[in-house]
Structure 1
């Protein structure tokens, strides 16, 4: 895969605004560590991963507002503004310590790279993520796909190729007890594009759900192990899947990987059928925001 061109230290910033009262709390700050650049067909239509995640967070914010109003909340007092900043982890560009200390969450994106490789930028990212609780003990950590795997390595587990093969397109997770607490219900549908997986949980983490092909489809770590799990008692949450992806995005990724002979024509055809199914990415984004008090 081609290495993306060097980027400025702060690649992009986007503000996701809710209706606010005159004395609104300070903006929430989410720092995104970009671990890849989308394939050209996705980049041309959906933008960078900064844009893709910002869109998910905006849609999740809108859902949060709708739910709050349905529960009788004042539409002018629904919550703070979200500031989304992105940094190029591939080129080992990270936010300053001061900015991390101001952040409410740090999110690690997916990547076509394998999280188990000893590539310098990957080992640097593992070390950086491991340092985050020391830099800012109150900031949440969100890991998505490759980011989920980086978190696993950073906190004491491993990543490897899954002998059961690829999962691509929308798949239904069987939620664990912890998954049911955070997401509600017994099932969760989310887009997948992965062949690697986390075979075992790091210490103090719980599994969120599984499929027949992947036992650990997400992880959660509490702030306080002595208290019940709730959105406010989440320190770290990860997902093997992609809540930020849409059917169009996954379809373009399938096309690119089939053309590059990363996956077979037969797997591509099967995956396109899964990619066309309905996912719950926005609801998942809503849960991520709920850990920040939104």
Structure 2
């Protein structure tokens, strides 16, 4: 994939669409911290400050907490326990903001992760809803499209998952990146404007173990699905590789 060249740090605004569970939040202080840790590992041994200047914006309880698009180069929308298709004021505002980013015609790049992927899909006019095939959890293998193979330098990709909602189709003008039997739309590239993934490159064994445990306790996941997730939670995954692709996209270096 080649090295990432950053003539100056990219100004990245991370929109936090949820708060991590207690143990994760105590360690990282929000999903902004989780993503900052991912990007730090992705550029090591380089100093992250040479590549990114990160600001965080919690948009659920503070619906006006959005960055000035004149002061950022890229926006990343995080995952969330909420559903991107709901008609709720803060979700509708987030969709509108994603459309505002897209309207910059690539001056500000847009990155979507899980719920964020679905928000970008909704902003581009495609259907988002519940997957009748059910949940995907923990480390999952994806088959890459021709474009995905070129971007990631492999035929498959392994990524943590934690979702039942999906984007049903590829938006007009975008190129699909990956899919599998449960969810055919695992990410897309809208050239120069947006890149998304349905999974969670920022998640780790510890983070997903905490989520699986809570969702089992609350009855969201049944015992079989919980155990299947736990059987795969420690497997290697490609989160750092995906983060490097995000950085290359944000710096305009994707082929």
- CA distance in structure 2 between the partners assigned to 1:136 and 1:193 by the alignment: 31
Quote the residue 2:238 is aligned against. Answer: 280
Does the C-alpha gap of structure 1 residues 81 and 271 become closer, same or farther in structure 2, counting only changes over 3 Å? Answer: closer
Match of 1:92 among 50, 63, 66: 63
- CA distance in structure 2 between the partners assigned to 1:128 and 1:110 by the alignment: 16
Does the C-alpha gap of structure 1 residues 136 and 85 become closer, same or farther in structure 2, counting only changes over 3 Å? Answer: farther
Q: Aligned to 1:290, what secondary structure does the other structure show? A: helix
Quote the offset at 1:52 in angstroms.
Answer: 0.3
Quote the residue 1:244 is aligned against. Answer: 202
Q: Aligned to 2:12, what secondary structure does the other structure show? A: strand
Q: Aligned to 2:250, what secondary structure does the other structure show? A: coil
Q: Aligned to 1:244, what secondary structure does the other structure show? A: coil
Per-residue CA distance 1:193-241 (angstroms, 9 max, x = gap): 0011111111111110011100000010113xxxxxxxxxxx2100000
Quote the offset at 1:89 in angstroms.
Answer: 1.2
Mapping for residues 147-186 of structure 1, pairs under 5 Å: 147-186=116-155
Per-residue CA distance 1:233-261 (angstroms, 9 max, x = gap): xx210000000000111011000111111
Quote the residue 1:214 is aligned against. Answer: 183
Per-residue CA distance 1:165-188 (angstroms, 9 max, x = gap): 000000011000110111011000
Quote the residue 2:19 is aligned against. Answer: 37
Per-residue CA distance 1:6-63 (angstroms, 9 max, x = gap): xxxxxxxxxxxxxxxxxx9443200011100011132123431011000011111216
Which sections of structure 1, spanning at least 5 residues, go unmatched? Answer: 1-23, 66-75, 224-234
Quote the offset at 1:283 in angstroms.
Answer: 0.9
Does the C-alpha gap of structure 1 residues 260 and 79 become closer, same or farther in structure 2, counting only changes over 3 Å? Answer: closer
Quote the residue 2:41 is aligned against. Answer: 59
Mapping for residues 16-165 of structure 1, pairs under 5 Å: 25-62=7-44, 65=46, 80-90=50-60, 91-97=62-68, 100-135=69-104, 137-165=106-134
Q: Which moved more, 1:150-159 or 1:261-270?
A: 261-270
> Does the 8 Å CA contact 2:95/2:123 hold for their aligned counterparts?
yes
> Does the 8 Å CA contact 1:42/1:253 hold for their aligned counterparts?
no
Q: Aligned to 1:216, what secondary structure does the other structure show? A: coil
Does the C-alpha gap of structure 1 residues 39 and 291 become closer, same or farther in structure 2, counting only changes over 3 Å? Answer: same
Q: Which structure is larger by alpha-carbon Rg, 1 or 2?
A: 1
- CA distance in structure 2 between the partners assigned to 1:117 and 1:131 by the alignment: 19
Moved over 4 A (4+): none
- CA distance in structure 2 between the partners assigned to 1:164 and 1:277 by the alignment: 23
